[in-house]
């Protein structure tokens, strides 16, 4: 097997140095090298190109490392042993990926995110993207939940969802058992649990990274839940109409109420340097009952268990639970996390599309999600291990963020306003008055 795992941080500039890649030159229908029985055994994939093809296929993204993808490289090399696949992280990815695509040696496959479709800043990404729904590519998208498939204005599908995510709270289950407190399944129970942990002297009932961007983990259920019931609300919020700020009031009132009940100790939250590694390691100290978290953050817990001296010395049971802030019951916000796009100007286009055809099989999508500890994008959404508490969510309470249709600019208004209210920087009325002016 040939595989290159480039994990270095790239400090890119306009004089970007990327990868020197060899053109693929794959024939469309050479010797397949794998019988149908072998294909079925290895995941329902049958090669469509000459398996003796020699070329390189590069993937770039924002992850520091991507062992789950490298495992897929290994599997793909069972069919195409002379294809050299590589993954490289681009530092400051969102700002520099367009520069990478404009370089002479652009990547073959690259990360794309749903919010980028709503922004003119990422036009290059989608101008260069293959339409993965093109029948000529023979990429079967039917195993992916339709609510996660993004389409542009022309109806093309420029990216394939690889992982899905949600928002919730990491719960130290052992602390709840120790204090005889029920893990909350309603808002009133959450307030009661926070009150009990405060009385017991814990540093903060709920830990959170106290920056505006992270407040989506707190207000997501309220924001999307309300918007899912009112298309007019969505239209006005997306248009950033000043009067639409009033739609934020119920959410901001709940944030204010939680602060008054002592759910967060802001001083403790401000000690965090980031909302990923630092948050996880602080949670692993063992004296934090709950931590606001996305599934993307929660997926990094397993790797950090042995990095925490406190957790290694005194391990505890934990899982990601729904954060229930309404009277309607637990909710699952179903949203894509990472998506892959194929550079249609790639020198290795045939093989890049072939790898995507391989990855789009339900077996591989489930395998890569399991390895990364993120939720799968396949229609048979399953919850186990870290996400087992979400299995009790009523299917009617699964809300697709894509179907709701709020733009990133609209959600930013909620996140910044919630941050201001939580930190006492603005009253609810003042935060509402600023609607439409907020940026991250």
In the block, which residue shows the tokens 């391989």?
358
Query: Residues 282, 288, 290, 294: what is their CA dihedral angle, to the nearest 10 degrees?
Result: 0
Are 52 and 351 in contact, with CB atoms under 8 Å apart?
no
Q: Say yes or no to pLDDT of 27 above 50.
A: no
Domain boundaries, the chain: 3-138+338-372, 167-335+383-433
Separation CA 435–CA 440 (nearest Å)? 13
Predicted local confidence at residue 65, as pLDDT: 86
352-362 pLDDT tens trace: 999 999 999 99
Q: Which two tokens stand for residue 50?
A: 């000459």
On the CB side of 162, CA atoms within 13 Å amount to: 25
> Are 327 and 186 in contact, with CB atoms under 8 Å apart?
yes
**pLDDT (0 to 100) of residue 44:** 77
The pTM score is: 0.86
What pLDDT, on the 0 to 100 scale, is given for residue 382?
A: 83
Q: How confident is the model at residue 105 (pLDDT cuts 50, 70, 90)?
A: confident
Q: What is the pLDDT of residues 296-319, one digit of tens each?
A: 999 999 999 999 999 999 999 999
Tell which residue, 381, 279, 303, has the closest CA to residue 335. Answer: 381
* Common-topology check for domains 3-138+338-372 and 167-335+383-433: yes
pLDDT band for position 16 (cuts 50, 70, 90): very low
- Is domain 3-138+338-372 given the CATH code 3.40.190.10 in the classification? yes
Can you tell me the mean pLDDT for 215-228? 96
18, pLDDT greater than 60: no
Residue 378: pLDDT above 60?
yes
Per-residue pLDDT band at 384 (split at 50, 70, 90): confident
- For the cut 70, the answer to whether the pLDDT of residue 26 exceeds it is no
* pLDDT the model gives residue 13: 36
**CA distances to 36, 158, 302, 312 from 308, in Å:** 47, 40, 11, 6
Q: What is the homologous superfamily of the domain 167-335+383-433 according to CATH?
A: Periplasmic binding protein-like II (3.40.190.10)
Return the structure tokens found at 215: 């407040």
CB 101 within 8 A of CB 343: yes
Contact 373, 86 (CB under 8 A): no
Helices and strands in the chain: count of H runs, count of E runs: 19, 13
For residue 433, give Cα distances in angstroms to 133, 420, 430.
43, 12, 5
Residue with tokens 């049971």: 317
Q: pLDDT-derived band of residue 217, with 50, 70 and 90 as boundaries?
A: very high
Mean pLDDT of the chain: 90
């Amino acid at each position: 097997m040939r595989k290159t795992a480039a994990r270095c941080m790239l400090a890119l500039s306009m004089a970007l140095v990327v990868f020197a890649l060899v053109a693929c030159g794959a024939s469309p229908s050479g010797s397949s090298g794998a019988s149908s029985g072998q294909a079925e055994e290895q995941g329902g994939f049958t090669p469509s190109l000459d398996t003796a093809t020699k070329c390189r296929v590069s993937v770039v993204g924002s992850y520091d490392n991507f062992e789950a993808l490298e495992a897929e490289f290994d599997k793909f090399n069972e069919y195409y042993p002379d294809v050299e696949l590589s993954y490289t992280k681009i530092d400051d990815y969102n700002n520099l990926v367009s520069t990478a695509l404009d370089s002479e040696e652009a990547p073959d496959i690259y990360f794309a995110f749903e919010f980028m479709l709503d922004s003119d800043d990422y036009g290059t990404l989608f101008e260069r993207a293959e339409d993965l729904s093109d029948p000529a590519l023979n990429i079967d998208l039917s195993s992916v939940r339709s609510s996660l498939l993004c389409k542009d204005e022309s109806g093309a599908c420029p990216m394939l969802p690889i992982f899905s995510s949600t928002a919730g709270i990491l719960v130290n289950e052992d602390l709840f058992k120790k204090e005889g407190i029920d893990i909350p399944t309603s808002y009133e129970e959450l307030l009661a649990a926070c009150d009990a942990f405060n009385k017991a002297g814990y540093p903060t009932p709920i830990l959170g990274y106290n920056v505006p961007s992270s407040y989506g983990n707190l207000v997501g259920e309220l924001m999307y839940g309300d918007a899912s019931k009112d298309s007019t609300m969505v239209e006005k919020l997306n248009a950033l109409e000043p009067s639409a700020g009033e739609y934020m009031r119920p959410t901001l009132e709940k944030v204010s109420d939680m602060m008054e009940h002592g759910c967060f100790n802001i001083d403790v939250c401000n000690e965090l340097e980031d909302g990923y590694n630092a948050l996880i390691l602080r949670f692993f100290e063992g004296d934090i009952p709950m931590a606001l978290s996305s599934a993307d953050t929660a997926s990094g817990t397993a790797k950090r268990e042995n990095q925490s001296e406190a957790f290694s010395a005194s391990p505890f049971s934990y899982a990601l639970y729904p954060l229930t802030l309404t009277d309607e019951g637990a909710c699952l916000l179903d949203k894509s996390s990472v998506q892959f796009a194929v550079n249609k100007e790639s020198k290795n286009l045939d093989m890049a599309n072939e790898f995507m055809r391989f990855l789009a099989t339900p077996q591989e999508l489930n395998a890569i999600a399991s390895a990364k500890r993120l939720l799968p994008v396949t229609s048979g959404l399953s919850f186990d291990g870290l996400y087992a508490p979400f299995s009790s969510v009523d299917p009617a309470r699964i809300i697709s963020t894509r179907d709701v249709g709020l733009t990133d600019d609209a959600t930013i208004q909620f996140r910044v306003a919630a941050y201001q209210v939580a930190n006492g920087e603005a009253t609810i009325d003042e935060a509402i008055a600023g609607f439409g002016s907020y940026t991250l």
